[in-house]
Amino acid sequence: MTLKNWKERFTEGFFLQADNESPARYRILRRNIIILMTLITVIPLTIMAVINQYEYERSIKDEIVNPLRTLTNKTKHSFELFLEERLAIVRSIASLYSFEDLSDQKTLSRIFRVLQNEYCCLIDLGLIDTKGIQMSYAGPYDFLGKNYSQQGWFQEVVVKGVYISDVFMGYRQFPHVAIAVLRRAEEGRFWILRATIDTSRFDDLIASMGIGPDSDAFLINRKGIIQTPSRFYGKVLDHCPLSFPIGNYGAIVVEEVDPQGREMLVAYAPFAKSDYALVLVKPRSKILQSWYTLRSKMFFFFVISVVMIILVVFKLTDTVVKRVQEADERREFAFREMEHTQKLSSIGRLAAGVAHEINNPMAIINEKAGLMKDLVSYKSQFQEKEKFLELTDAILQSAERCKTITHRLLGFARRMEVKFEVLDVNELLKEVLDFLGKEYLYRNIDVRLQLAENLPRISSDTGQLQQVFMNVLTNAFSAIEDEGCVSITTWDEDLDTIGVSIQDNGCGMSEETLKHIFEPFFTTKKGYGTGLGLAITYGIVKKLGGDLKVHSDEGHGTTFTVYLKKKPTIN
Amino acid sequence: MTKPKLLLVDDEEEFVDTLAERLHLRGFQVLTATDGEGALRLIEKELPQVVVLDVMMPGLGGLEVLQQIKTRTPRIPVILLTGHGSTADGIEGMRLGAYDYLVKPINIDELIKKMLEAVST
C-alpha cells in the first residue's frame, strides 16, 4: 500500500466525514480521541521516567560508589605508609651502621631491642652477606648461618635493592611479611639487612575501616592469594574466589557475584610500590537500598499517573463525544422539524392553488345547476319535473360539498388572523365538551377532567383554540369504543407555558401513521375524513406559538399534548 | 317591495350570464359587465341601485373598481364576491366601503337577502 493510501485511510478513519451518520462514528471518534490523548500524554511521561531513572541511577551510584573508592584508597595509603615506615627503618639502620657493626651479634641485638620498643610488629632482624649466609640474627629463632642464596627473594633483592615479601607463614604458623634492603660495598660485594614483621597491624588497619557485618575487606597479592584473613572468601594464603580484574591500575569499583550468589560491589586498590592490593567487598543491595526505594517510589508514581491519565482521558472523551452526539441529534431533530414544517407549508400552498382554481368552475357549475332548477321550477310544465329537480339538487349539494372542501383547504393554507384575548383554558375546554356533549353522553364515554385549579389565564385566540380542542377531542372520541375513557389534564408547565393533554384508551396508532398524522389529506377514516383536521390543528397551535406533541401506543391509546404560550406570540 | 336594478361584475362570462338570468327570473333588472372599465361606464350611464363585484379580476381589480365607485358614486352599495377562502380580501373591501362580502360559490337566496338589505339602508 502506498503512502498516499495509508494517509487517506488514516484521515478517513481519524477525522470522520461529517455526513457519516452511522452510530459507529461515535465509537470510532471515541476510540481515536482516547488513543491520541493517551499517546500524547503517556509517551512523554514514559520517556521522562526512563531518562530520570537512568540519570538518577547514575548519579546515585556515583554518590554511593565514590565513598567506597575513597575509603579503600585511604586505607590502602595507611597500609603503604605502614610498610614504607618499616622499610625506612630498615633502610636507615642499613645506612647508619656498617657491615662490621651489624655482623656483631651484640650490636644487632641492641638495635633490635630498641626498634622493638619503638615500633610495633617487628619479629626479627638479620644480616645476610654476599653469599646469602645469615651473618647475624636478632629474634626468637635460631637462623644463624642459614643460607638464603637459593631463595627467590634473595635474587630479587639483589636485582632491585629493596624487597617486600608476600605474606607467608613463619615457623610458628603466623603470617609474616619480610622486608629486605641491600647495601653495596666495595669490590662488588654487598650485604642485606632483613627484617620480619607480623601482620597483626594489618588487621587493625582493616578493622579501622569500620565496615559492616555483611561486608568484607582484605589484602591480596597480584596472584590473587589472600594476604589477610577474609570474613567470607577464605583464609590467609587461600586463593581468592572473586574474579575481579587484577592489575596495577588505579582504584576501581566493579560489580560481582560472589560464590554465595550475592551481588556485591568490589572496590580494588592496588599498592604502588608492592604487590598488594586492598579489596573491599560490600553487598550491592545494602548500598543501593536508598536507590531501590527511590526507584520503586518513582515507579509507583509513574503507574499512578498513567492510570489517572487514562481514567481522565476516558471520562473526558466520554463527555465530549456524548456532547457531540447530543448536538448532532439536536441538529438532526431541528432539521427534521424544519423539513416537516416546510413540507406542510408547501402542501398547503399547493392545496390553496388547487382549491382556488377549482373554486371558479365550481361557482359556474353552481349557477348553471341553479338556473336549470330555476327554469324547471318557474316555467316549465316538464314531464320529468320531479326527477329533474332531484338531479339539480344533487348537483347543487355536490357543489356545496366541494365548496366546503375548498374552503377548508384554503383555510388550512391561509395566514389566519389571530385575535388575542385573555382566556381560561379550563373554561374553554368545558365549553368545547358541552358542544360535543351529546356525542359522548350517548356513547357512554367516560370523560375525566383533571384540570389544574390555579391554571393561569393565557392570552390566545378563543375561536382557534376551540377548533384545536374540538379536533383533538373528536379524534379521541372516534379512536375509542363506546364506554371508553378520555382524560383531559391541564397543568402549569413552566413560566411561559401551560400544558393540556388529551389521553384516550382507544386503538392507538402505528409508527407509520404517527409520521403522517399532521399532513393534510392523510386520513385513516376512509370515506368520511377530509384528512385536514389535525393538519389544521397543528397549524393553529404552531401559529399561536405553541406546540403539539403526540404519543401513541398501538392498541393502548393515544395522548395528544398541547403546549400553549401564556403571552401572545405569533409564528 | 320593488326589485332594485343591479349591476353584476365578474370576469367569468358564464358565471355572470347564468347568475344574471337567475336573478332576472326572480324579477330583478340585471346589468352585467365582465371587466372593471365596463362596470364603471355602466354605473355612470345606468346608475344601478346596487353593485355585485368580484374581487379577483384581470385588468382593473375588484378593490380598485370599488374605490372608484366609492369616490364617484359613494351612495351606491357594493357587495363583494371573493373566490378566496381568505377573509382578508373581504375585510379589506369592507374597510374600503363595501357593504358586505360573499364567498363563491354563492347561494342565490343569500345574495338576494344581502342585496335587499343593502338597498333598504
Q: Angle A531-A532-A534 (CA atoms, 0-180°, nearest 5)?
A: 95
Mean pLDDT, rounded, of chain B: 85
Asked whether the beta carbons of residue B83 and residue A417 sit closer than 8 angstroms, the reply is no
- Asked, for residue A361, whether it belongs to a domain, the answer is no
What is the distance between the alpha carbons of residues A185 and A132, in angstroms, rounded to a whole number? 15
Q: How far off is chain B from A530, nearest CA to CA, in Å?
A: 17
Residue B85's pLDDT is 52
Those of residues 90-109 in B touching chain A at CB distance below 8 A are 103-106, 108
Bridge partners for A278 per DSSP: A219, A269
- Select from A350, A369, A391 the last residue of a domain: A350
Are residues A239 and A162 part of one domain?
A: yes
Residue of A nearest to B23 (CA): A371
pTM, two decimal places: 0.45
Asked whether the beta carbons of residue A356 and residue B84 sit closer than 8 angstroms, the reply is yes
Of A364, A400, A402, the CB nearest to B15: A364
Asked whether the beta carbons of residue B15 and residue A355 sit closer than 8 angstroms, the reply is no
Cβ neighbours of B27 in A, within 8 Å: none
Are residues A427 and A326 part of one domain?
A: no
Asked whether the beta carbons of residue B18 and residue A407 sit closer than 8 angstroms, the reply is no
Q: What is the domain count for chain A?
A: 3
Residue of B nearest to A378 (CA): B25
What is the distance between the alpha carbons of residues A460 and A569, in angstroms, rounded to a whole number? 9
DSSP state string for A69-103: HHHHHHHHHHHHHHHHHHHHHHHHHHHHS-HHHHH
Asked whether the beta carbons of residue A371 and residue B21 sit closer than 8 angstroms, the reply is yes
Q: How far off is chain B from A548, nearest CA to CA, in Å?
A: 25
Cβ neighbours of B26 in A, within 8 Å: 374
A contact set with B (CB within 8 A): 352, 355-356, 359-360, 362-368, 370-371, 374-375, 378, 399-400, 402-403, 406-411, 413-414, 417
Residue of B nearest to A354 (CA): B84
Are residues A44 and A104 part of one domain?
A: no
- Asked, for residue A412, whether it belongs to a domain, the answer is no
DSSP state string for A272-332: SSSSEEEEEEEEHHHHTHHHHHHHHHHHHHHHHHHHHHHHHHHHHHHHHHHHHHHHHHHHH
- How far does Cα A509 stand from its chain's mean position? 50
Is the pLDDT reported for residue B67 higher than 80?
yes
Domain of residue A90 covers 65-287
Task: Assign residue B27 a region (left: φ > 0; alpha: ψ between -120 and 50; beta: otherwise).
Answer: left
pLDDT-based confidence at residue B9 (cuts at 50, 70, 90):
very high
Q: How far off is chain A from B97, nearest CA to CA, in Å?
A: 21
Domain of residue B67 covers 5-120
Are residues A225 and A104 part of one domain?
A: yes
- Asked, for residue A410, whether it belongs to a domain, the answer is no
Residue A10's pLDDT is 55
Helices (H) and strands (E) in chain A — how many of each? 13, 17
As given in the structure block, the three cell numbers for residue A156 are 630479587
Are residues A313 and A201 part of one domain?
A: no
What is the distance between the alpha carbons of residues B83 and A4, in angstroms, rounded to a whole number? 67
Cβ neighbours of A520 in B, within 8 Å: none
User: Residues for chain B: how many in total?
Assistant: 121
- Asked, for residue A119, whether it belongs to a domain, the answer is yes
Predicted complex ipTM: 0.84
- Asked, for residue A428, whether it belongs to a domain, the answer is yes
- Select from A264, A287, A310 the last residue of a domain: A287
What is the distance between the alpha carbons of residues A556 and A538, in angstroms, rounded to a whole number? 23
Are residues A207 and A179 part of one domain?
A: yes
Which CATH number characterizes residue A200's domain? 3.30.450.20
- Select from A243, A261, A287 the last residue of a domain: A287
Are residues A188 and A126 part of one domain?
A: yes
Asked whether the beta carbons of residue A374 and residue B12 sit closer than 8 angstroms, the reply is no
Cβ neighbours of B104 in A, within 8 Å: 359-360, 362-363
- Asked, for residue A390, whether it belongs to a domain, the answer is no
Which CATH number characterizes residue A445's domain? 3.30.565.10
In a mutational test of the A interface, the residue from B8, B14, B101 whose CB has the highest number of chain A CBs within 10 Å is: B14
**What phi, psi does A247 have (nearest 5°)?**
180, 175
Are residues A343 and A441 part of one domain?
A: no
Q: Quick one: DSSP state of residue A186?
A: G
pLDDT, tens digit (0-9, with 9 covering 90-100), for B20-63: 999 998 889 999 999 888 899 999 898 899 999 888 888 888 88
Are residues A149 and A212 part of one domain?
A: yes
Asked whether the beta carbons of residue A359 and residue B83 sit closer than 8 angstroms, the reply is yes
Integer-rounded Cα radius of gyration of chain B: 13
Cβ neighbours of A405 in B, within 8 Å: none
Are residues A303 and A218 part of one domain?
A: no
Residue A554's pLDDT is 84
- Asked, for residue A141, whether it belongs to a domain, the answer is yes
- How far does Cα A60 stand from its chain's mean position? 30
Beta-carbon pairs below 8 A across chains A and B: 69
Query: What are the average pLDDT values for consecutive 10-residue runs of chain A, which has 571 residues?
Result: 59 51 80 91 91 87 82 89 89 88 88 86 86 86 82 85 83 82 84 87 85 85 84 82 69 80 84 83 79 87 92 92 90 80 70 78 90 83 83 89 75 58 86 75 84 87 81 84 86 90 87 81 66 79 86 88 84 56
- Asked, for residue A175, whether it belongs to a domain, the answer is yes
Are residues A207 and A128 part of one domain?
A: yes
